[in-house]
Amino acid sequence: MAMSSSQQHRSGTAPDASSPSQTPSPGPANTSTGSPAPNVEGQRSRPVNQAHSMEQKLDAFRRLLTIMDELREGCPWDREQTMQSLRNLTIEETYELADALMEDDLDGVAEELGDLLLHAVFYARIGDERAAFDIADVLHRVCDKLVHRHPHIYGDAVVEDAEAVKQNWEQLKLAEGKRSVLQGVPQSLPALIKGQRMQEKAAKVGFEWHHIEDVWAKVEEEKAELEEAVASGEHKRMEAEFGDLLFALVNYGRFLNVEPETALERCNRRFKARFEYIEAQADARRLDLKGMSLEDMDALWNEAKAQGIGRD
C-alpha cells in the first residue's frame, strides 16, 4: 500500500531476495523516500544528509521505481488505485510538505518530498499502463521545458537579473501557444496564492503599478468602496468590495515582498497559540471560558503576547 511514509506498509507478498528494493538492514523499506530502512533500534543506517554521488542518487531513484512496480503488482490497495483516487491524497501530502516548510523542519521536508515523489512515480506508472506516458516521458518533458525556457543558460540570450529571467519565462510560454499569461494559474489554488500569482504574471507584461504609493492608494480606494457597500446593506455588493480590498492588499503585500498566504498563516498560528493560552489559563484558574468577560480574556491575551507566545 503506497501511502505516506508515516503509515506502515505491509504488502502481504515478500519480494524476491535478489530484488533491488531489498536492503541489508532489517525492517520494512521506507518506500516514500528511497532511503535505507531503519534498523532494529529505529535509527537510520546512514545520516539522511550524507552527500551522495550522482550514481547513488540514480540508484535510489531506480530503487523507488522498482518498489513501485512491485507494489502495483503485488499489493491489493496499490493495484486498485487510479489517478482520481490518488488526487486527494496528493493534495494532502502537498499540504504536509507546506507545513514542514513553514516550520523549517528539514527532516520533515525530506520525508514529505519523498511522499510527493512517490505520488509522481505512482501517476507515471498508471500513465504507462494506459499507454499515455511513463516516468521517462515526464522527466524528459520537464527537462525540455527547462532548457527551452533558459536560453540565457542553454542559448545565446543575455539577461541582467532574476526579474528579467521571469519576464522572459512568461514571454516564452506565450510563444509556446499559451492563450493567456494567466493560463498556467491553477483554478484550484487557494485564493490568496491565486491572486498573487495572477498579479505577478500580469506584471510581467506591464500591467503593473510603478510606485508603491499608487498601490496603497488603491487599497484606500477599495476600503472606501467597501464602506459604501456596507452602508448600502447589499450583501452581494459587500462581498464583491471585500474581495476587491483583499485583492488590493495582496498586491500591496507583493510590493512589500510579503507573501500574503504565509503572512496570514503565521497570523493564524499566533492566534491559535495565544487563544490556547487563554483556554489553559482559564482552566488552571477554574474559570468558565464562556462566562469570562471580553476584558478578562483580553488581559490573558496580552499576557500571552508579553510572554512571546505565538511569536515567530
User: Last residue of some domain: 142, 172, 195?
Assistant: 142
Q: Residue 63: is its pLDDT beyond 70?
A: yes
Per residue in 77-100, pLDDT (tens digit) is 999 999 999 998 999 999 999 999
Residues 88 and 193 in one domain: no
Which residue range(s) make up the domain with 181?
149-207
Per residue in 252-303, pLDDT (tens digit) is 999 999 999 999 999 999 999 999 999 999 999 998 999 999 999 999 999 9
Cα gap 123→134, rounded to integer Å: 9
Rounded to whole angstroms, what are the CA distances from 69 to 74, 107, 126, 133, 285? 8, 27, 10, 15, 58
* Total domains in the fold of the chain: 4
pTM: 0.60
Which band of pLDDT confidence, cut at 50, 70 and 90, is reported for residue 156?
confident
Residues 119 and 47 in one domain: yes
For residue 195, the model assigns a pLDDT of: 95
For residue 179, the model assigns a pLDDT of: 74
For residue 47, the model assigns a pLDDT of: 58
For residue 1, the model assigns a pLDDT of: 64
For residue 81, the model assigns a pLDDT of: 95
Contacts of 219 (CB under 8 A, 6+ apart): 245, 248, 249, 252
Residues 216 and 201 in one domain: no
